[in-house]
Amino acid sequence: MIRQISIFAENKKGAMMRMTDTLIEEGINMYSLITNDSAEFGIVRILVDDPDGAAAALQKAGYLCHIDKVIAMEIPDEPGSLNRVLKDIHYGNINLDYLYVTNSSRVETALAVLHTAEIDQVEQFLKVRGYKVMD
């Protein structure tokens, strides 16, 4: 299980740049970033090498953010691999809050990042099914 930072940010010009400027100033490296937006605000989710340092720096810069536990699991970068994961999740009667797929220099495969209310149980379920989950 890894920790992801979720940031609540205004949807306006330059908002992402100011956020990444803050991380650069602290020497924090991002592995992954995804945004979900609405008309006025958005949620930015990032995986970084120093979640505590990033959250502290972003909060000091005025951002509302928190750290969430997420599951990041390696999946083959080939057709059908995400579908196999989703079938296992479905058969396990697991409800996902959200999921995204990314690539990372930390691993040679794609990463499926998922969040669920039952994070510890789902992580164990996936490990038993043979998935490689990042720590």
Instruction: Output the domain CATH number for residue 51.
Output: 3.30.2130.10
Same domain, 49 and 93: no
Supply the range of the domain harboring residue 36.
Answer: 2-67
Q: What are phi and psi of 83, to 5 degrees?
A: -60, -40
Give me the pLDDT at residue 130, please.
Answer: 94
* Number of domains present in the structure of the chain: 2
Q: Is residue 135 part of a domain?
A: no
Same domain, 54 and 106: no
Same domain, 37 and 78: no
- Reported as half-sphere exposure (CB side, CA atoms, 13 A), residue 97 has a value of 12
Same domain, 37 and 56: yes
Q: In this predicted model, what pLDDT tens digit does every residue of 73-128 receive, in sequence order?
A: 999 888 999 999 999 999 999 999 999 998 766 667 888 999 999 999 999 999 99
Q: Is residue 134 part of a domain?
A: no
Instruction: Mark which of 67, 91, 117 sits at the end of a domain.
Output: 67
Q: Is residue 58 part of a domain?
A: yes
Q: What is the pTM of this model?
A: 0.86
Give me the pLDDT at residue 93, please.
Answer: 94
CA gap 121, 15 in Å, rounded:
36
Using pLDDT thresholds of 50, 70 and 90, give the confidence band for residue 13: confident
**Mean pLDDT for the stretch of residues 12-37:** 91
Give me the pLDDT at residue 107, please.
Answer: 63
Element (H, E) at 103: strand 98-103
Same domain, 81 and 31: no
CA gap 5, 45 in Å, rounded:
6
Same domain, 6 and 19: yes
Same domain, 63 and 80: no
